[in-house]
Amino acid sequence: MSTVRHDWTVEEVEQLLNTPFNDLLFQAQTVHREYHDPNAVQVSTLLSIKTGACPEDCAYCPQSARYDTGLERERLMEVEAVIEKAKAAKAAGSDRFCMGAAWRSPRDKDMPYVLAMVKGVKELGLETCMTLGMLDDKKADALAEAGLDYYNHNLDTSPEFYGEIITTRTYSDRLNTLANVRNAGMKVCSGGILGMGESHKDRAGLLAQLANLPVHPDSVPINQLVKVAGTPLETQGDLDPLDFIRTIAAARIMMPASHVRLSAGREEMSEEMQAMCFFAGANSIFYGECLLTTPNPAANKDQDLFRKLGINSEHRVTKAPQELDEILAQPEQNADLFYDASQQSAQTH
């Protein structure tokens, strides 16, 4: 087995990213096969439970109140409505339900509702994940006690480039939240965004930060910037797709047991590029029509791609496969089975 390390230097990661492409992908695929079923991809569904009007200034995010992106602001969803969406996600084949709120951090008065959502979704037999912004130790403990399995909080980029993207919270704020989540016994979901104008070295720096955490995040979302009109990164140049694939491969090699997740930006990726990402070691996706507020490939397109690639969803299917296929083939007629996050945001916190 390749070793699980926590002592990567940025220079070493840069070298890894610069490895000849075929060698890098071969190495990544070899590691992938040591730790994972090479033909299985984990599937999660994401719902925005509170959209827009966020006081933070993340330059990529249409949910920031500082940018005029035309996004409709919404209040925190009712607990019952969230549970209904979770039931629909379960019926459509998801095994993990992620709930995201555009907050700097949850307020005390929000907590009873959020905890009720965790308990309600958990009772459906789904794994639960939330992304609510920064957490102190008490709120992290309360969420863990309610049964929250995963907490998402991204590092976004390298510590050096971070100040170009966010000024309202620090890199150490983010690391503190991750420590509180870890100490509360929840699994960490943390990754970053590529294509924001960061250098090659910044990508190496982000990966080194993630891999040098005391415990590797269970889930590592690698997002491609979605250039939303009205955000400061609206006119950012395109990321070279090969650089994106290289980063996925390096993440797989450095965090061999983690799930590397293809997240925001998948809508803009061809089937061939997604296939290369799976080959490079990505083994998790968000499933459904939208990823918070940006388009996500329709669920049946994902099923088509999985079929073409011989990939199995790494989840408990609650309906007979044939019945599920019929549902997925007609998403319009089965709109209730798909969460509607079309009013909501691109990347998670």
Q: What single-letter DSSP state applies at residue 335?
A: G
Binding ligand SF4 by CB under 6 A: which of 58, 146, 165, 328?
Answer: 58
Is position 129 an interface residue for ligand SF4 (rule: CB under 6 A)?
no
Close Cβ partners of 37 (under 8 Å, ≥ 6 residues apart): 312, 314
Name the minimum Å distance from CB 232 to ligand SF4. 11
Q: Is 290 a catalytic residue?
A: no
* Least spacing, CB of residue 317 vs ligand SF4, in Å: 32
Contact of 242 with 282, CB cutoff 8 Å: no
Residues 181-240 that bind ligand SF4 (CB under 6 A): none
Among 16, 24, 43, 61, binds ligand SF4 (CB under 6 A): 61
Helices 299-309 and 271-280 meet at what angle, rounded to 10?
A: 60
Piece in contact with ligand SF4 (CB under 6 A), picked from 50-58, 120-128, 138-146, 236-244:
50-58
Quick check: 102 binds ligand SF4 (CB under 6 A)? yes
Give the residue, chosen from 42, 63, 180, 263, that forms a contact with ligand SF4 under the rule CB under 6 A. Answer: 63
Task: Determine phi and psi for 110, rounding to 5 degrees.
Answer: -80, -25
Reading phi first (left if > 0) and then psi (alpha if -120 to 50, else beta), residue 70 is in left
Q: Is 277 annotated among the ligand-binding residues?
A: no
Instruction: State yes or no: 290 annotated in a binding site.
Output: no
The answer to whether 58 is a known catalytic residue is yes
d(CA 281, CA 32): 6
> Three-state secondary structure along 12-27?
HHHHHHCCCHHHHHHH
Of residues 1-20, those binding ligand SF4 (CB under 6 A): none
- Nearer CB in complex with ligand SF4: 63/94: 63
Nearest approach, Cβ of residue 63 and ligand SF4 (Å)? 4
* Binding status of residue 54 toward ligand SF4 by CB under 6 A: yes
Are 47 and 339 within 8 A, CB to CB?
yes
Q: Which C-beta is closer to ligand SF4: that of 56 or that of 289? A: 56
Closest distance to ligand SF4 from the beta carbon of 56 (Å): 4
Angle, CA of 78, 302 and 307, to the nearest 5°: 140
Rounded to the nearest whole angstrom, what is the least distance from the CB of residue 177 to ligand SF4 in the complex?
Answer: 11
56 contacts ligand SF4 (rule: CB under 6 A)? yes
**58 in a labelled binding site:** yes
Q: CB-based contacts of 321: which residues, under 8 Å, 6+ apart?
A: none
Rounded to the nearest angstrom, the gap between the alpha carbon of residue 33 and the centroid of all alpha carbons in its chain is: 22
Distance, in Å, from the CA atom of 21 to the CA atom of 340, rounded to the nearest integer, reads: 38
Least separation in angstroms between CB 228 and ligand SF4: 11
177 binds ligand SF4 (CB under 6 A): no
- Asked whether position 294 contacts ligand SF4 by CB under 6 A, the answer is no
Is 54 part of any known ligand binding site? yes
Q: Active-site residue among 96, 169, 174, 189?
A: 189
Is 64 a binder of ligand SF4 (CB under 6 A)? yes
From candidates 93, 106, 133, 192, binder to ligand SF4 by CB under 6 A: 133
**Rounded alpha-carbon distances, angstroms, from residue 130 to 48, 59, 267, 322, 348:** 10, 22, 22, 31, 10
Q: Both tokens of residue 87?
A: 């039931």
Alpha helices per DSSP H over 147-170 = 159-162
The DSSP bridge partners found for residue 47 are: 99
**Known catalytic residues?**
54, 58, 61, 98, 129, 189, 261
Per the annotation, binding residues are: 54, 58, 61, 98, 129, 189, 261
Q: Which residues bind ligand SF4 (CB under 6 A)?
A: 54, 56, 58, 61, 63-64, 102, 133, 347, 349
